[in-house]
C-alpha cells in the first residue's frame, strides 16, 4: 500500500542472551571507585554503556559507590531530561488467555478468574470515562487469545482514537500484547499505534522454561525474544522492553535488558523507546515464590543503573508500586508513570476503589486519582505532561532527541508539557490542583528566556485559558 514500508526480509532470529557470559560478569571482581567513576562519567557524557560496564555498576555494592550511582542517576535525569513526567493510563481490553504463566492470574489454569472481553461499545464507555478525567495517552492491554488477533487489536485502537468526550480525546495509544508475526505488526501499524510493548519477563532460560509451560505459545523463549525485532522488520520503530522483577536474580535481568536494548540498536539503528520494570505483585490463583523478590533498596538500584546504562530510553514506573515508593523513586530517572489506573475489565465505570482479586490481573499499589497524583507531582516540583507531539509530528526516537539534540527540550518538550498541563488545569483539575498548577506554570515560564518564542508560548497558554484552542503543540 502507498506510504507503507515494505516488510524487511526477516533477520535470522538468534538467541543473543549469552547466559554464561552474563553470569560470569556477575561473579567477577568488584570494581573499585575509580572504575565506577569512569563508567559514570561515560554515561554523564551521554554515551550508552556496554553490558560489561553495566555489570560493573550492578556488582558495585559498596555503600559509598551505590550512593554515587544514585547521585549520578539523579544528575542525569535532572540535567538531561529536566523535571517532566509523562502520564498515561492502562486500559485492559480482554483477559482470555491460552498461556499458563505461573505468576499471572489470567493464566488459563486459573478457573476462578472472571473472564471478559470488552465490546467496542464498552471500550467507548471506558475511553469516555478516562477522557473525562483528563487522560490523553493510553496503553491497551490484552491476554493472548485467538480473539485478540491483529485485526481486533487494530479495530480497538481505531475505536479509542474515534471516541471523544467534550474536550477529551486520546492522542496516543500504546499496546501491551502478545508477540506477533510480521503481517500482524503491519496491520496494527496502520491503525496508528505509539509503542508496542513486550516484556520478556525473565531473560534467564531455565527460569523462563519453568514458569512458561512448553506446550503454550509463550513457552517459546526465542519467538518472544525476537518479537520486537519482527516489529522493526514490519515497519514499527517504537518498541518497549520489560522484565517482571521477582522471577529471577535482578542483577542478571538488568544485564538481559541492556543486552536486548543494544541488540535492537545494533540491528535496527534504534534502541527501545521505553523500558518497564514491574515488580511481581500478589495475584488471584498465584503462589508467589519469594526467592527472588526485589526489596525497595535493590529496586532503587535497578532504576538508577538502567538510567545510567540506557540514557536515551524512557523509564516507566507503574502503579503496581505504592505511592510512597513511587514518590521516592521518581527522582532516579523515571520519565513516565500511570495514574488513576484501574486494571479490572470495565474498571473505569463499573468498580469503586475496592480491588476485587478475581477480576484483576494483580493487586495495584497506587489507586489514587489522576488529579491527586498530578497534585503531588507538582508539589514535588515535577512538570506533568500529556504531550504526544513527537509521535504525531513523525519525530520518532524522541528520548534520543531529547538526549542528543541541544535545545530540544527547551524548544519542544517543556513548551508542549506546559500547553498540555494548561489544558488539564482548565478542563479537569480540582480547585486545589489547579491552584498548584497555575503557580507551577508561572514558575516554569519564569525559567524561559525572554523573547519571541516565550511570547508565542504565553499567547498559546492564554488561548487555552480563554477556551479559544485545544491540542496545539510545537
Summarize as ranges the residues that interact with ligand SAM (CB under 6 A). 103-104, 106, 141-144, 176-178, 198-199, 201, 244, 278, 280-281, 283, 286, 320, 361-362
- The one of ligand SF4, ligand SAM, none whose footprint includes residue 301, by CB under 5 to 8 A per kind, is none
* DSSP state, residue 111: T
d(CA 189, CA 192): 5
Least distance from ligand SF4 to the Cβ atom of residue 101, Å: 3
What number of other Cβ atoms are within 10 A of residue 212's Cβ? Answer: 22
- The one of ligand SF4, ligand SAM, none whose footprint includes residue 177, by CB under 5 to 8 A per kind, is ligand SAM
Q: Which is nearer to ligand SF4, 361 or 433 (CB)?
A: 361
In order of 221, 347, 355, the CA distances from 359 in angstroms are: 28, 9, 8
Strand duo 168-169 + 164-165: pairing:
antiparallel
Residue 246 CB partners (closer than 8 Å, separation 6+):
103, 279, 280, 288, 292, 293, 294
Q: Which is nearer to ligand SAM, 321 or 402 (CB)?
A: 321
Q: Which three cell numbers stand for residue 181?
A: 508475526
Q: Which is nearer to ligand SAM, 77 or 281 (CB)?
A: 281
User: Which of the residues 83 through 112 are near ligand SF4 (CB under 6 A)?
Assistant: 97, 99, 101, 104, 106-107
Q: Which three cell numbers stand for residue 345?
A: 475489565
R_g of the chain computed on alpha carbons: 22
Told to check if 179 binds ligand SF4 by CB under 6 A, we report no
What number of other Cβ atoms are within 10 A of residue 263's Cβ? Answer: 19
Length of the chain: 474
Binding residues for ligand SF4, rule CB under 6 A, total 9
Q: Which three cell numbers stand for residue 170?
A: 486520546
Told to check if 281 binds ligand SF4 by CB under 6 A, we report no
CA 125 from chain centre, in angstroms, equals 24
- Residue 290: exposed, middle, or buried by beta-carbon count in 10 A (0-12, 13-18, 19+)? exposed
x/- map, 217-246, ligand SF4, by CB under 6 A: -x----------------------------
Least distance from ligand SF4 to the Cβ atom of residue 196, Å: 15
Q: Which is nearer to ligand SAM, 92 or 424 (CB)?
A: 92
x/- map, 138-177, ligand SF4, by CB under 6 A: -----xx---------------------------------
Least distance from ligand SF4 to the Cβ atom of residue 59, Å: 30
Q: What is residue 84's three-state secondary structure?
A: strand
d(CA 104, CA 252): 22
Q: Which is nearer to ligand SF4, 60 or 247 (CB)?
A: 247
In order of 36, 43, 171, 300, 332, the CA distances from 49 in angstroms are: 12, 7, 33, 19, 17
Residue 463 CB partners (closer than 8 Å, separation 6+):
469, 472
Q: Which three cell numbers stand for residue 3?
A: 506510504
Least distance from ligand SAM to the Cβ atom of residue 4, Å: 26
Q: CB-side exposure of 229: number of CA atoms within 13 Å?
A: 22
Q: Which is nearer to ligand SF4, 80 or 178 (CB)?
A: 178
- The one of ligand SF4, ligand SAM, none whose footprint includes residue 107, by CB under 5 to 8 A per kind, is ligand SF4
User: Which of the residues 38 through 77 are near ligand SF4 (CB under 6 A)?
Assistant: none
Least distance from ligand SF4 to the Cβ atom of residue 144, Å: 5
Q: Which is nearer to ligand SAM, 177 or 461 (CB)?
A: 177
Q: Which is nearer to ligand SAM, 221 or 362 (CB)?
A: 362
- The one of ligand SAM, ligand SF4, none whose footprint includes residue 126, by CB under 5 to 8 A per kind, is none
Q: Which is nearer to ligand SAM, 347 or 437 (CB)?
A: 347
Least distance from ligand SAM to the Cβ atom of residue 439, Å: 36
What number of other Cβ atoms are within 10 A of residue 281's Cβ? Answer: 20
Residues that bind ligand SF4 (CB under 6 A): 97, 99, 101, 104, 106-107, 143-144, 218
Amino acid at each position: 500500500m502507498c506510504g507503507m514500508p515494505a516488510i524487511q526480509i526477516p533477520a535470522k532470529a538468534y538467541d543473543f542472551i549469552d547466559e554464561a557470559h552474563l553470569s560470569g560478569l556477575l561473579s567477577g571482581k568488584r570494581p573499585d571507585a575509580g572504575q565506577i567513576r569512569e563508567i559514570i562519567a561515560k554515561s554523564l557524557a551521554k554515551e550508552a554503556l556496554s553490558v560489561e560496564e553495566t555489570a560493573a555498576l550492578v556488582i558495585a555494592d559498596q555503600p559509598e559507590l551505590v550512593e554515587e550511582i544514585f547521585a549520578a542517576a539523579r544528575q542525569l535525569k535532572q540535567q538531561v531530561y529536566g523535571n517532566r513526567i509523562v502520564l498515561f493510563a492502562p486500559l485492559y481490553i480482554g483477559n482470555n488467555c491460552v498461556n499458563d504463566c505461573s505468576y499471572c492470574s489470567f493464566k488459563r489454569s486459573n478457573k476462578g478468574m472472571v473472564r471478559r472481553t470488552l465490546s467496542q461499545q464498552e471500550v467507548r464507555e471506558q475511553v469516555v470515562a478516562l477522557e473525562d478525567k483528563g487522560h490523553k495517552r493510553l496503553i491497551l492491554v490484552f491476554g493472548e487469545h485467538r480473539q485478540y488477533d491483529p485485526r481486533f487489536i487494530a479495530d480497538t485502537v481505531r475505536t479509542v482514537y474515534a471516541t471523544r468526550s467534550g474536550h477529551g480525546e486520546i492522542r496516543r495509544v500504546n499496546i501491551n500484547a502478545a508477540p506477533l508475526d510480521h503481517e500482524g505488526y503491519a496491520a496494527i501499524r496502520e491503525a496508528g499505534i505509539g509503542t508496542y510493548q513486550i516484556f520478556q519477563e525473565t531473560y534467564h532460560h531455565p527460569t523462563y522454561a519453568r514458569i512458561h509451560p512448553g506446550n503454550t505459545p509463550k513457552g517459546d523463549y526465542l519467538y518472544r525474544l525476537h518479537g520486537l525485532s519482527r516489529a522493526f522488520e514490519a515497519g514499527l520503530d517504537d518498541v518497549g522492553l520489560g522484565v517482571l522483577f521477582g522471577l529471577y536474580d535482578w542483577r542478571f535481568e538488568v544485564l538481559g535488558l541492556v543486552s536486548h536494548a543494544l541488540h535492537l540498536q545494533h540491528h535496527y539503528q534504534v534502541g527501545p523507546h521505553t523500558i518497564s520494570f514491574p515488580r511481581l505483585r500478589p495475584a488471584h490463583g498465584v503462589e508467589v515464590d519469594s526467592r527472588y523478590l526485589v526489596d525497595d533498596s535493590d529496586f532503587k538500584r535497578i532504576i538508577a543503573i538502567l538510567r545510567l546504562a540506557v540514557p536515551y530510553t524512557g523509564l516507566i514506573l507503574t502503579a503496581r508500586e505504592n505511592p510512597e515508593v513511587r514518590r521516592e523513586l521518581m527522582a532516579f530517572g523515571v520519565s513516565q508513570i500511570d495514574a488513576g489506573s484501574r486494571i479490572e475489565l470495565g474498571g473505569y465505570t463499573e468498580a469503586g476503589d475496592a480491588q476485587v482479586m478475581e477480576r484483576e490481573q494483580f493487586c495495584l499499589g497506587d489507586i489514587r486519582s489522576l488529579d491527586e497524583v498530578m497534585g503531588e507531582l507538582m508539589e514535588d516540583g515535577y512538570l506533568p505532561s500529556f504531550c504526544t507531539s513527537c509521535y504525531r509530528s513523525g519525530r520518532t526516537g524522541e528520548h534520543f532527541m531529547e538526549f542528543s539534540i541541544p535545545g530540544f527540550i527547551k524548544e519542544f518538550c517543556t513548551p508542549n508539557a506546559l500547553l498540555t498541563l494548561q489544558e488539564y488545569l482548565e478542563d479537569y483539575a480540582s480547585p486545589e490542583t489547579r491552584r498548584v498548577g497555575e503557580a507551577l506554570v508561572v514558575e516554569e515560564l519564569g525559567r524561559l528566556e525572554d523573547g519571541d518564542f516565550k511570547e508565542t508560548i504565553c499567547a498559546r497558554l492564554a488561548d487555552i485559558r480563554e477556551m479559544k484552542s485545544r491540542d496545539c503543540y510545537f
